[in-house]
Amino acid sequence: PLSKLSDIGTTIFSQMTQLANENQAINLSQGFPDFMADTELLDYAGDFIKKGVNQYAPLGGIISLKEEIARKIENSHQAIYHPESEITVTAGGTQAIFTAIATFIKKDDEVIIFEPAYDCYEPTVELFGGIVKRFEMKAPDYNIDWNTVKGLVTDKTKMIILNNPNNPSGKILKENDIQELIKLVKDTPILILSDEVYENIVFDGKQHLSLCKYPELKERTLLVASFGKLFHVTGWKVGYCAAPKALTDEFRKVHQFNVFCVNTPIQLALGEYMKNEDHYNHLNEFFQKKRDFLREGLKNTSFELLDCEGTYFQALKYSKISDKNDFEFAHELTVTHKVASVPFSSFYKNKLNEHVIRLCFAKKEETLEKAIENLSKL
């Protein structure tokens, strides 16, 4: 093969967005907001650019932003990270994930992932010669059977990748899951890559349990978060990786040759904006209203609404409507009913088809309203 990823196509998110655009469909496929970010944040960015702060940032990130990140993590999870040596600003969550895998995964290292899994984990592990072991979480509950997971652990297991809250299922880890995870990794050198980019989008008063809350996990965890999700600016591509110094030191060795550093004026703007905690403390309520609006609108349709505990994605089972596979169904929904979604099977290596699709509700009420109207005709 010509390249290491010869068998892999374009991500499902780009595919579905393109299909939505070609068909003038309402795009509830790729996860991004269709509304503006706060103008205060946008003004800060403009101000820093115009002030002329446009050269390289330090490789780990700008200290004013890293201090705000450390303060946010301490306030939300009672965990202490040293801003200078334990937090690295990255070009979005995806680069943090890529760099973490590139840093630690060598040929034949085994990595455990939980499906439905965000699409970048597996190809990245394979790029570096790692071997993926999967646990399939299934509809409608997406529960984890930790005994089965235990069976996947060998002396070659190098890393476990968790995505909590989970994209696409909207499932969050419970205290019991965390305790099982603690037991699983105890007395092993296993690292954990914890993708928590939706940490601030958890509903119904439930609590996001960040792995950094637990000292036994924090010491081995690379925690990944995203400002795109936090402040509705996915196109800025800024996030971070927080990890103990020994892991961060290694992470930065790769980071420096991968991107070296991240957009300077945007980092300064984010740091300034984060001084006010109100700017990030109300995301749960903000998105819960959108989730409830969508669920209410779809409640009398033939779609079955699966639980949505967090993220800005709603999973819908459509088996009462069609027995087509989810890829075909999502395609037809876009072309004929003008609503684009993401088929769940794209999040499973073995294309497990449970007749479930994902809708993104990080959209204006009028967008959701139009989608509801179209979906109600099915």
Look up residue 234 and give its amino acid: T
Copy the structure tokens of residue 321. 């409507």
Q: By CB under 6 A, is residue 325 in contact with ligand GLN?
A: no
Query: Which secondary structure element, helix H or strand E, spans residue 224, and what is its range?
Result: strand 221-226
Measured distance CA(282)–CA(288) in Å, rounded:
10
CB of 71 vs ligand GLN, minimal distance in Å: 26
CB of 10 vs ligand GLN, minimal distance in Å: 10
User: Pattern of binders to ligand GLN over 121-160, x per CB under 6 A?
Assistant: ----------------------------------------
Is 299 or 364 the residue whose CB approaches ligand GLN more closely? 364
CB of 82 vs ligand GLN, minimal distance in Å: 29
Is 48 or 118 the residue whose CB approaches ligand GLN more closely? 118
Is 30 or 264 the residue whose CB approaches ligand GLN more closely? 30
DSSP assignment string, 166-188 = PTTT-----HHHHHHHHHHHTTS
CB of 231 vs ligand GLN, minimal distance in Å: 15
Is 167 or 267 the residue whose CB approaches ligand GLN more closely? 167
Measured distance CA(81)–CA(104) in Å, rounded:
20
Collect all residues with Cβ–Cβ distance below 8 Å to 292 and sequence separation of at least 6.
Answer: none
Copy the structure tokens of residue 217. 């996990």
Is 66 or 290 the residue whose CB approaches ligand GLN more closely? 290
Q: What are phi and psi of 315, to 5 degrees?
A: -90, 135
Among 20, 27, 28, 31, binds ligand GLN (CB under 6 A): 31
Q: What are phi and psi of 357, to 5 degrees?
A: -125, 160
CB of 28 vs ligand GLN, minimal distance in Å: 10
Give how far Cα 291 sits from Cα of 207, 286, 313, Å.
17, 9, 8
Among 167, 200, 264, 345, binds ligand GLN (CB under 6 A): 167
Q: Which residue has the tokens 């968790």?
A: 162
Is the N-terminal amide bond of 189 cis, ω within 30° of 0? no
- Calculate the CA dihedral of residues 166, 171, 172, 176 and round it to 10 degrees: -120
Copy the structure tokens of residue 120. 């970048």
Measured distance CA(44)–CA(345) in Å, rounded:
41
Q: By CB under 6 A, is residue 346 in contact with ligand GLN?
A: no
Is 30 or 90 the residue whose CB approaches ligand GLN more closely? 30
User: Pattern of binders to ligand GLN over 11-30, x per CB under 6 A?
Assistant: x-x----------------x
CB of 35 vs ligand GLN, minimal distance in Å: 16
Measured distance CA(5)–CA(124) in Å, rounded:
9
- Subset of 89-128 contacting ligand GLN (CB under 6 A): none
Binding site for ligand GLN (CB under 6 A): 11, 13, 30-31, 167
